[in-house]
Amino acid sequence: MTKMKQEKNILMVAYLFPPLGGSGALRPVKLAKYLPEFGWKPIILTPNKADYYYANDPELLKELPSEIKIKRSKMLKAAWIYRFFNPFRLRRIDKIIKKIFLHPDEQIGWIPFAFFSGMNMIRKHNIDAIYSTSGPLSSHLIALLIKKRTGLTWIAEFRDEWFEDPRLDFVTSFHKRLHYRLEKMIINNADRIVTMAPVFARLLSKHNGNSHKFFTITAGYDPKDFTDDSSSWYKEENMQKFVTVFNGVFYDTFKPISFLQAIEELIDEGEISQEEVCIEFVGPNTANDIGTKDKHGICKFIGFVPRKKAIQCLSRADVLLLLLSRERGKDVIPSKIFEYMASGKPILSLIPKDGDSASIIKKTNTGIVADFDDVNEIKDAYLALYQRWKKQDLPWKTNWKEVEKFDQKNLTSQFADILNQGVHSSKCLMTQEKTKK
């Protein structure tokens, strides 16, 4: 796509934004970084003091052009709501408050403040379009209110599913209907729906069968993130070991139980040496979260680190671990997969073989796919990678032509095309309505 001659302004409603870090903050940051190259000037709306979040990475702000405006609005934090209704902070009462009152999520206290701030920014900056990204889902409700008031083109982005999310707990049938209707309102009022996996588009299209409304733009990688390999902070003690790195968070439905059992059996059988292997978990998970005991003491828990250091961990690894259970959804595409691919290191992909993630791994030739729960398959895959490391084989033969399709700049170009189509369609519709009158 060629650069646009006339710059337009887009209001980006993003709760997860630096200084908050993690994968959720990366999407709006990377869009804001590259959209100016395609004729769109981002103006960010985000909370001033967000609720507690496991990831903080203020360094991400340095990636943004200096001219980008960021409005940090006030919000009523969930912690204050809990404190008001439950002054003694009994955990059981907090859970009841959350299940009954905090819908669609704990960030509802941001909605009124963000709406008024957003309207003020629209008056000041001649906004041409609105973008909102979830989670949290409250971001979409803010954009919906602004859309209703202004009629501006609105792109709603879903990084995950909503109504079908297995982590949602509907305490009553009323709450179930509420989420369904809110989701339907968003889908029917947004001009374009962008999802980060095709399966999410299929789930959301139950409310609206207009195929021209739905687009999939996956997560991606930024080549500029892989140009600096200054790893002086990184301990050298594991440099002579076969290091497997998992970067991110794992949940109840995909803990690395079968993976660790497979390695334990390989050690017990004498196929691999306990002294030569190391599994590093980079992220907020701890030894209590893996769901099994580390019998041979091969696991290390690095904790959450800023993005730059997380990339360095990938660069230092011999193998990268990808986990996705069938319960989470075979067609979910974890965002970490693309940075794994960009590192050039082989990926041990313990994922459903018939899913979209497996298809991407195979097309890009970036790793080995084995079933998440099949211990014997995992043993064979891990052993093959371990033996390859022992022989010091040539670098993994990645299909870089396929990998480059997920370059952040290419993805932003696609997003800009969707924006331009949406704005053009809205202008045509307004012209038709004026003609009728």
Per residue, the 3-state secondary structure of the chain, as one string, reads CCCCCCCEEEEEECCCCCCECCHHHHHHHHHHHHHHHHCEEEEEEEECCCCCCCCECHHHHHHCCCCCEEEEECCCCHHHHHHHHCCCCCHHHHHHHHHHHCCCCHHHHHHHHHHHHHHHHHHHHCCCEEEEEECCCHHHHHHHHHHHHHCCEEEEEECCCCCCCCCCCCCCHHHHHHHHHHHHHHHHHCCEEEECCHHHHHHHCCCCCCHHHEEECCCCECHHHHCCCCCCCCCCCCCCCEEEEEECCCCHHHCCHHHHHHHHHHHHCCCCCHHHEEEEEECCCCHHHCCCCCCCCCEEEEECCCHHHHHHHHHHCCEEEEECCHHHCCCCCCCHHHHHHHHCCCEEEECCCCCHHHHHHHHHCCEEEECCCCHHHHHHHHHHHHHHHHCCCCCCCCCHHHHHHHEHHHHHHHHHHHHHHHHHHHHHHHHHHHHHC
- Count the neighbouring beta carbons within 10 Å of the beta carbon of residue 80: 12
Q: How far apart are CA 77 and CA 52, in angstroms?
A: 9
pLDDT at 2: 41
pLDDT at 232: 45
Owner of token pair 């002294």: 275
Checking if the pLDDT of 32 tops 90, the result is yes
Instruction: Answer with the residue of higher pLDDT: 101 or 423.
Output: 101
Judge whether 1 and 413 are in contact, CB under 8 Å: yes
Checking if the pLDDT of 425 tops 80, the result is no
Nearest to 14 by CA among 144, 148, 134: 134
Nearest to 146 by CA among 225, 73, 250, 223: 73
pLDDT at 238: 52
pLDDT at 237: 54
Checking if the pLDDT of 436 tops 80, the result is no
> What single-letter amino acid sits at 192?
R
Distances (CA, A) of 335 to 21, 25, 26, 339: 14, 12, 10, 8
Residue 7 confidence class, pLDDT cut points 50, 70, 90: confident
**Degrees, nearest 5: CA angle 128-129-135:** 155
| Digit-coded pLDDT (tens) for 156-175 | 999 999 999 888 889 999 99
pLDDT at 314: 92
- Count the neighbouring beta carbons within 10 Å of the beta carbon of residue 200: 26
Structure tokens at 315: 């660069």
Q: How many CA atoms lie within 13 A of 26 on its CB side?
A: 19
Q: Of the segments 177-186, 285-294, 422-431, which one has the largest average pLDDT value? A: 177-186
pLDDT at 228: 61
Judge whether 75 and 107 are in contact, CB under 8 Å: yes
| Digit-coded pLDDT (tens) for 352-388 | 999 999 999 999 999 999 998 899 999 999 999 999 9
Residue 427 confidence class, pLDDT cut points 50, 70, 90: low
Q: Of the segments 68-77, 207-216, 386-395, which one has the largest average pLDDT value? A: 68-77
Owner of token pair 């957003």: 118
Instruction: Answer with the residue of higher pLDDT: 236 or 267.
Output: 267
Nearest to 69 by CA among 137, 122, 107: 122
Spatial CB neighbours of 290, under 8 Å, sequence gap ≥ 6 = 250, 255, 256, 257, 260, 281, 299
Instruction: Answer with the residue of higher pLDDT: 427 or 312.
Output: 312
Structure tokens at 409: 């700049």
> What single-letter amino acid sits at 112?
P
pLDDT at 5: 44
| Digit-coded pLDDT (tens) for 181-231 | 999 999 999 999 999 999 999 999 999 988 889 999 999 999 999 876 544
pLDDT at 423: 78
Query: How high does pLDDT run on average in the chain?
Result: 90
> What single-letter amino acid sits at 365?
N
**Degrees, nearest 5: CA angle 311-315-317:** 115
- Count the neighbouring beta carbons within 10 Å of the beta carbon of residue 11: 27
